[in-house]
Amino acid sequence: MLVDCLNWRIQNEIDSILEKPIIPVDLYRSIRESQLVGLSGYSKEQYLFILLSFDTAGVPVFAFGVGQSTYDKASVHYYVQSHIQINEYRDRIILPMATKKFRRPITTCIKVLDMTGLKLSALSLLKILTAISAVDELNYPEKAETYYIVNAPYIFSACWKVVKPLLQERTRKKVHVLSGRGKDELLKCRREGSSKASLSSVDDCFSLDHPFHQELYHYIEQQALNQELIKQGSLHVDIPDQDPDDAMIVEVIQAEFHKLGEQNGSADGDHK
Domain of 207, CATH number, reads 3.40.525.10
At 268 the pLDDT is: 55
Distance of CA 183 to the CA centre of its chain: 19
Q: Which residue range forms the structural domain that includes residue 157?
A: 1-264
Q: Tell me, what's the pLDDT at 221?
A: 93
Distances, alpha carbon 157 to alpha carbons 59, 115, 177, 224, 268, in Å: 28, 10, 9, 44, 21
193: left (phi over 0), alpha (psi -120 to 50) or beta: left
Q: How many CB atoms lie within 10 A of CB 31?
A: 19
Residue 271 lies in a domain: no
pLDDT at 182: 72
Q: Is residue 269 a contact partner of residue 164, using CB atoms and an 8 Å limit?
A: no
Contact criterion met (CB below 8 Å) for 203 and 183: no
Residue 188 confidence (pLDDT): 62
Judge whether 113 and 69 are in contact, CB under 8 Å: no
For residue 193, what pLDDT is reported? Answer: 46
pLDDT at 245: 80
Per-residue confidence (pLDDT) for residue 98, from 0 to 100: 94
Tell whether 269 is covered by a domain: no
Assess if residue 159 is contained within a domain.
yes
Contact indicator for 177, 115 with CB cutoff of 8 Å? no
Residue 255 lies in a domain: yes
Would residue 211 count as lying in a domain? Answer: yes
Q: How far apart are CA 265 and CA 257, in angstroms?
A: 12
Instruction: Give the pLDDT confidence score for residue 267 in this predicted structure.
Output: 56
Whether 252 is in a domain gets the answer yes
Q: Which of 35, 36, 129, 38 is nearest to 73 (CA)?
A: 35
81, 73 contact by CB (below 8 A): no
Say what the pLDDT of residue 77 is.
93
Q: What sections of 12-110 are H helices per DSSP?
A: 25-34, 45-52, 76-89, 95-102
pLDDT at 21: 93
Supply the pTM of this predicted model. 0.84
d(CA 210, CA 158): 34
Cβ neighbours of 11 (radius 10 Å): 10
Please report the pLDDT score of residue 120 as a whole number: 87
Q: Which parts of the chain sit beneath pLDDT 70?
A: 45-56, 183-203, 229-234, 265-272
If one counts the domains in the chain, the total is 1
Rounded CA-CA distance 197/209 in Å is 12
Query: Is 51 contained in some domain?
Result: yes
Domain membership of residue 71 (yes or no) is yes
Per-residue model confidence (pLDDT) at position 262: 78
Beta bridge partners of 110: 61, 146
pLDDT value at position 135? 94
Instruction: Show the beta-strand stretches assigned E in the chain.
Output: 37-43, 60-64, 109-114, 144-150, 175-177, 190-191
